[in-house]
Amino acid sequence: MTAPLLSVRALSKSFGGLRALDAVDLELAAGEILGVIGPNGAGKTTLFSLIAGSLQPTSGQVHFEGRPVTGRAAHRLVRGGIVRTHQIVRPFANLTVLENVTVAALHGNRRADVPARYRAPRVLDFVGLADRAGQFPGLLTLAGRKRLELARALATIPRVLLLDEVIAGVNPTEAVALAALVRRIRDELGTSIIMIEHVMPAVMSLSDRVLVLDHGRKIAQGTPAEVVRDPGVIEAYLGTSTEATAP
């Protein structure tokens, strides 16, 4: 049996008396897309912050490529191949789109075999922003800024990409295009993905497996078809199974 690329064991985080994440386990295989869903306050972003190194866990372990990386600083994890995007996109407003991506490339994975100044334009072309390279981020639409966020992450050459609501908030046409881009990142670049998403048709159609959190605990995990039929998931989040089914 092939070992998982990323594994999380009994990961927990407390803020004072609040248990934001409670003994969560997960595994991510190479080339897999794992969806993470749950109501607001379920612990999804806390989980990402612990895996990505921007928060230190109260207890539990994170292993990447078979090695312990629990509590390692975020910049070290980026260079090693674990990168996250953020729900609220905050590019460098005084740098052009190309300069934003170049900065990310310079601080990314040390395994890169292409210099940052060449890698950044290729990434912009991949995400569909090549024609916006000389513009400032403030001129981009929300969907454009989300593509820029993806480009900055991809420029670091991640092996594991943590996507925090990269599709939410855009119009239906843009949502379909962004979902297709996420699939290309996996299929063409070979990047393994964990995605938090509230756009249920997107997460259900993209994910190989789905993990469900509620009040900091994992309440279900399985294929999209299994998860939408789970009574606990329906009660906690989905409302009805038919509402969550991908078109």
In this predicted model, what pLDDT tens digit does every residue of 1-26 receive, in sequence order?
A: 578 999 999 999 999 889 999 999 99
**pLDDT, mean of residues 171-189:** 97
Query: Do 231 and 214 touch, CB atoms closer than 8 A?
Result: no
Q: What is the pLDDT of residue 247?
A: 36
In one-letter notation, the amino acid at residue 8 is: V
Given a cut of 50, whether residue 243 has pLDDT beyond it is: no
Domain 1-81+159-247, classified CATH 3.40.718.10, yes or no = no
Given a cut of 50, whether residue 112 has pLDDT beyond it is: yes
Name residue, tokens 């039929």.
229
- Name the phi and psi angles at 231, rounded to 5: -60, -35
If we measure between CA atoms, which residue out of 158, 208, 152 comes closest to residue 183? 208
Q: What is the pLDDT of residue 111?
A: 66
pTM for the full model?
Answer: 0.91
**pLDDT, mean of residues 113-130:** 91
What's the pLDDT tens digit per position in 47-76? 999 999 999 999 999 999 999 999 899 999
Q: What is the pLDDT of residue 110?
A: 65
Domain boundaries, the chain: 1-81+159-247, 91-157
Q: What is the pLDDT of residue 1?
A: 59
Confidence grade of residue 238 (pLDDT, cut at 50, 70, 90): low
What's the pLDDT tens digit per position in 184-229? 999 999 999 999 998 889 999 999 999 999 999 999 999 999 998 8
CA distance 239 to 245: 12
Q: What is the pLDDT of residue 237?
A: 64
